[in-house]
Amino acid sequence: MNKIWLSSPHLSGHEQKYVQEAFAANWIAPLGPNVDGFERDLCTYVGAGHAAALSSGTAALHLALILLGVGHGDAVICQSFTFAASANPIVYQGATPVFVDSELGT
């Protein structure tokens, strides 16, 4: 196979059961016991005191920039081969994305 999947799906067989449980318990939005459990398990696994599961990578980048105090006048390095969603949080904070390539010559 010559394809390199960006994000190939993986289903373990329990997804439909978990979705049905979420509907039955009325935990569709914003959070519920599965997210709380995931955050607890992640804290235990990495030895952290706190964890926050977010809705997207963009939301995670935005939160990270806020926690780092990135704001107006700051420059933030961003991969040039990316989606707009990678640079959007930088702009949300009033900072300037600086696009760089991973190749030495470019």
Residues 6+ positions from 97 with CB-CB distance below 8 Å: 75, 76, 78, 87, 90, 91
User: Residue 1 has what pLDDT?
Assistant: 67
Q: How many domains does the chain have?
A: 2
Residues 62 and 47 reside in one and the same domain? no
Domain with 66 in it:
55-106
Distance (Å, whole) CA 97 – CA 83: 13
Residue 3 lies in a domain: no
Q: pLDDT truncated to tens, each residue of the chain (106 aa)?
A: 688 777 777 888 898 998 898 889 888 777 788 889 999 999 999 999 999 999 899 999 999 999 999 999 999 999 888 888 999 999 999 999 999 987 877 6
> d(Cα 97, Cα 103) in Å, to the nearest integer?
18
Same domain as 81, residue 70 = yes
Best CA proximity match to 90, nearest among 78, 102, 80:
78
Same domain, 66 and 48: no
Q: What is the pTM of this model?
A: 0.71
